[in-house]
Amino acid sequence: MKLWQFILIFSSGMAIGIILYPLARMIESEGINHFLDSLGRIVTAPFQFLGRTFGKRLAARKLQKETREAETRKVDPREQQISDTAQTIRGLLLSLANVIQRTDQAASDSNQTLGDVRNTIDHMALPDDLRQVHTQLLSEIDRVISSNSTLKQELSHSREILSAQRQQIEELKTEVRIDGMTQLANRACFDEKIEEMVRLRDRYGDPFSLLVIDVDNFKEINDTHGHPGGDRILKGVAYKIKTTLRSTDFIARFGGDEFAAILMKAGAATASTAAEKVCRQVRESRFVLDGEEVRTTVSIGVAETATGESAENLLKRADKALYRVKEAGRNGVVLAEPPQ
């Protein structure tokens, strides 16, 4: 049955209901009331079916979209390799720790048993011809107990080594997510964080804003003072951003001479004020390279996340705002237009 036919049936049912229901109320006829209720259920049944059908289709399409996004999400190959290797090594270390624990327990049980046997033999009344055997047996038991004690000490030391190695693995996983030069989060870590923030926004409605920060005329600094000088400028700018923003804000080196900051629970006005403060702090700072005082500025694009907006679209809006700052002469802040 086509959609217009459903609409026709529904309209007819509504017209009949409008006419018959008041009449049924006036004559208090239970039969007519029952008839109207049945008719209402018949009329609405096709629409309920359509609602359930289209609801299932929409849910299936949403699941397929989320699956495709998960499959196409970029993963840093180096980070993935280290994560997989760390997971394998962690499993081996846990297995070794279990073996050490069982061996240590066995050594303790062995010492207890041998001690009991030694006490029993030592108190036995043996003939003279067995005294030499008695002495040798006690000596052997003492030797095994001593060896077990040494083994327990070595096992304890091994446990300490395993604990240190597990700590090193966790530190290695942390290092691969940190930019080595600025000690801020790297791009891979940022991508994970912004996706997490979008999910939290969709679930709880908490707002947040994104700052995309670009160091102005950075190529000229590199050309004049070389890459070591440029690196020192980037470190200085990173420090200014970190100390100017709140400790709860997330800051990352976005790549090259760009940084990004996620301002938790901050709307457009708060984020713009924070961006202006960062811009002013960098502009008023003095950097010394090769005995020469160097000043630099930053351009910042600001975008507040919108309901239902993807991380990709939020980044695009912030980038467009940054581009408008560049066109206007740099050294400033522009708030992105809300999404269409």
pLDDT band at 180 (very low <50, low <70, confident <90, very high): confident
Q: Is residue 130 part of a domain?
A: yes
- The mean of the pLDDT values for the chain is 75
| 161 and 92 co-located in one domain | yes
Share of the chain above pLDDT 90, in %: 37
Comparing 147 with 122, the larger pLDDT belongs to 147
Question: Does 52 have pLDDT greater than 80?
Answer: no
pLDDT digits (tens, 9 = 90+) for 294-320: 999 999 999 999 988 999 999 999 999
Secondary structure of 168-220 in HEC code, one letter for each residue: HHHHHHHHCCECCCCCCECHHHHHHHHHHHHHHHHHHCCCEEEEEEEECCHHH
Share of the chain above pLDDT 70, in %: 50
**Residue ranges of E strands in the chain:** 208-215, 250-255, 258-264, 287-289, 292-294, 298-304, 333-335
| 144 and 164 co-located in one domain | yes
| 66 and 93 co-located in one domain | no
| 89 and 160 co-located in one domain | yes
The pLDDT value given to residue 210: 97
Which CA distances in Å does 57 have to 61, 116, 191? Answer: 6, 74, 30
| 157 and 200 co-located in one domain | no
Domain boundary (155, 175, 195) is at 175
The pLDDT value given to residue 119: 67
Question: Does 217 have pLDDT greater than 80?
Answer: yes
Highest mean pLDDT among 11-15, 103-107, 301-305: 301-305
| 201 and 309 co-located in one domain | yes
pLDDT band at 111 (very low <50, low <70, confident <90, very high): low
Quote the DSSP letter at residue 302: E
Which CA distances in Å does 225 have to 181, 231, 237, 258, 290? Answer: 17, 10, 16, 19, 8
Number of structural domains the chain divides into: 3
| 323 and 214 co-located in one domain | yes
Q: How many Cα atoms are found within 13 Å in the side-chain-facing hemisphere of 340?
A: 1
Q: Is residue 182 part of a domain?
A: no
Q: Is residue 180 part of a domain?
A: no
Q: What angle do CA 265, 270, 272 make, to 5 degrees?
A: 125
- CATH code of the domain covering residue 282: 3.30.70.270
Q: Is residue 340 part of a domain?
A: no
Q: Is residue 19 part of a domain?
A: yes
| 61 and 143 co-located in one domain | no
| 65 and 170 co-located in one domain | no
pLDDT band at 266 (very low <50, low <70, confident <90, very high): very high
How many angstroms separate the CA atoms of 144 and 149, rounded?
9
Q: Is residue 221 part of a domain?
A: yes
Comparing 98 with 273, the larger pLDDT belongs to 273
How many angstroms separate the CA atoms of 318 and 301, rounded?
5
Domain boundary (175, 201, 226) is at 175
How many angstroms separate the CA atoms of 169 and 174, rounded?
9
| 27 and 48 co-located in one domain | yes
| 142 and 215 co-located in one domain | no
Highest mean pLDDT among 32-46, 57-71, 171-185, 259-273: 259-273
Q: Is residue 158 part of a domain?
A: yes
Structure tokens at 244: 């100017």
The pLDDT value given to residue 248: 92
Q: Is residue 20 part of a domain?
A: yes
The pLDDT value given to residue 309: 93
Which residues form the domain of 276? 187-335
The pLDDT value given to residue 327: 94
Query: Quick one: average pLDDT of 117-144?
Result: 61
The pLDDT value given to residue 107: 62
| 192 and 245 co-located in one domain | yes
Tell me how many helices (H) and strands (E) the chain has: 8, 7
The pLDDT value given to residue 334: 96
Comparing 23 with 321, the larger pLDDT belongs to 321
Comparing 78 with 176, the larger pLDDT belongs to 176
